[in-house]
Structure 1
Amino acid sequence: MQWIITPERYDTADATALRRDYYDEVASRYWRRPATEAEMDEGLTGDGAEELAPPTGEFLVGRYGGSPAACGGVLLLDAERAELTRVFLRPAFRGTGGAGLLLGALEDAARGLGARRMVLNTRLDLIEARTLYTRHGYAEIPAYCEGPYMEIWYGKELAARV
């Protein structure tokens, strides 16, 4: 079994299913109860995913052994910075090395869009995500944006690929 991570439109069947699973997991953890179908629909409506396409961003889907297993996006904030967003691995595929590969592919996508720095925001309770980011060189930075689900911010300089 191997990982294959490629750009994909945010609204394909596989990408949409992954985005729903992502929203279900983060919303359910926040609310400490399962998210309803209606809440997931509402959360995904107008969420800005359409900006995760060139020239403003990129959305990637990771497949493990051919099965859609992971997703993530990058969004250009300005000429220098891209924001990492919607990073998700389905629970059944965690521990297979996909998270690091996905993160590397997202960083490459940001470089391809011209970014020299990656930033992100997340919640304190998303410990697994925070561990992933710090393991891959992200460090806490001052807030660059604000919102109801933003509690900690990270950044990383994107070295040029050799």
Structure 2
Amino acid sequence: MTAWTFEHTPTDHPDAVALLRAYRAELISRYYRRPATEAEVDQLDAEEPDTCLAAFLVARRDGAPVGCVGLRRLDAGLGELTKVYLDPRARGQGGGARLITAIEAAAAELGLATLRLDTRADLVEARVLYARQGYREIPRYNDSEYASHWFEKSLPAAVRSLSPTTPPTAS
């Protein structure tokens, strides 16, 4: 049986840095339909710092880092998912749904009742994942130049009532 775990991790931890670079490289590669250069990844690193996140989780499968997700606080009770990434070798195994569930629990621990996110039209799998996790499309809520779809989800009362010591389900 594959064991999934989700750990609060500083974004400057080596595992987080590697996952964030892989996330950015994939975004660039898919957007331009060619491999990303190191310079492009470095530039995106500089343009989108990871320092203002309220939470950042690293997903591990059997101990190996395979994904990440960040959470920004937008307003009282309102947060935004960002930097949602799962290594291609770990996709198709329920890890994306587990990752979203884990960050929703972290958001609830921070007192957030509603989560938003944006994504691009070419990230079809991401849009399917968000819809399956209960996110619904909403009108534009930010000025992201690359976003073409915006989603929102109200966290269920059961998630919001989790105590800070209750770990997310990792089965």
Report the TM-score when normalising by structure 2: 0.89
1:109 aligns with 2:106: yes
Percent of paired sites with the same residue: 46
Query: In structure 2, what residue type is equivalent to 1:65?
Result: D
Tell me by how many angstroms 1:48 deviates.
3.0
- How is 1:132-151 mapped onto 2 (pairs within 5 angstroms)? 132-151=129-148
1:45 aligns with 2:62: no
> How many pairs does the alignment contain?
158
Tell me by how many angstroms 1:47 deviates.
1.3
2:120 aligned residue: 123
Structure 1 Cα separation of the partners of residues 47 and 14 of structure 2? 17
2:75 aligned residue: 78
SS at match of 1:82: strand
Structure 1 Cα separation of the partners of residues 14 and 122 of structure 2? 29
Tell me by how many angstroms 1:112 deviates.
1.2
Query: In structure 2, what residue type is equivalent to 1:10?
Result: T
Structure 1 Cα separation of the partners of residues 66 and 59 of structure 2? 6
1:88 aligned residue: 85
| Residues 59-79 of structure 1 deviation map (CA, whole Å, 9 limit, x = unaligned) | 000010111101001100000
Structure 1 Cα separation of the partners of residues 18 and 76 of structure 2? 31
Query: In structure 2, what residue type is equivalent to 1:73?
Result: G
Structure 2 Cα separation of the partners of residues 107 and 120 of structure 1? 12
Tell me by how many angstroms 1:46 deviates.
4.3
1:13 aligns with 2:14: yes
Where does structure 1 lack aligned partners over 5 or more consecutive residues? Answer: none
Q: Which runs of 4+ in 1 moved over 3 A?
A: none
Structure 2 Cα separation of the partners of residues 41 and 65 of structure 1? 30
Structure 2 Cα separation of the partners of residues 134 and 4 of structure 1? 23
Structure 1 Cα separation of the partners of residues 117 and 154 of structure 2? 12
Tell me by how many angstroms 1:148 deviates.
1.5
Structure 1 Cα separation of the partners of residues 13 and 46 of structure 2? 15
Structure 1 Cα separation of the partners of residues 11 and 98 of structure 2? 19
Match of 2:94 among 97, 102, 117: 97
Match of 2:64 among 58, 64, 67: 67
SS at match of 2:51: helix
